[in-house]
Structures are given as structure tokens and as C-alpha cells.
Amino acid sequence: MISFHTSLKGPEAKGIPARVSEIKTWTRSALSLKQDTTISINELACSQPGCPPKQVVVLILSKAVPARKFEIHKALLDISNDDVVNAVFKMD
């Protein structure tokens, strides 16, 4: 079973809002998205065998086109611009 999880305690919590903002900026830039496009960032945890311990799902919502998503198999705070660009490149 996949469950939603974001640790909001401890010193790492301070970096979460900034990293979410960066991932949105990197996504918007990589896909040349307009400002009115909604980008949702969710970190998920999984305890099933073969499932990555944490992954980030990026959902892109726009009135103009169907919803799109990509996943990065890393913890939210470990994601870089290169990870976003690579994931966008592989997106369907």
C-alpha cells in the first residue's frame, strides 16, 4: 500500500517549502509552462517490496491540455534540477 508522507518535523522540514518551490520552477521552465498552469508536488512513501522508499510525483494541470505527471524516485529534498529535466524528457 502506498501512503502519503511528508515529514514536517525536525531540521529538514525548513527546507521542504523551498524545495517544492524550486521543483515547480524547474518543471515550469523545462516544459515552458504558463504561470496559470497548476503544478502539484507530492512525496510518497512505500513499504512494499520493490517499491522505492520515497518518490516524488509531479502533477501538471492546465485548462488547455490533459493532466500530465512524472515521478522521480528520490526523496523530495534530494531532487535537483537535473532530476526534473531527466524526468520531463522521459515523460509520456
Q: Tell me the helix, strand and coil percentages in the chain, rounded to 5.
A: 35, 25, 35
Distances (CA, A) of 77 to 10, 56, 85: 13, 10, 16
pLDDT of 1-40, one tens digit each?
Answer: 344 444 555 556 678 999 999 999 999 999 999 999 999 9
Span 50-65, mean pLDDT? 91
Question: What pLDDT score was predicted for residue 92?
Answer: 65
pTM for this predicted structure = 0.82
The SS3 of residue 23 is helix
Q: What is the third-level CATH fold of 2-90?
A: Double Stranded RNA Binding Domain (3.30.160)
C-alpha to C-alpha distance for 82 and 79, rounded to whole angstroms: 8
Residue 11 confidence (pLDDT): 56
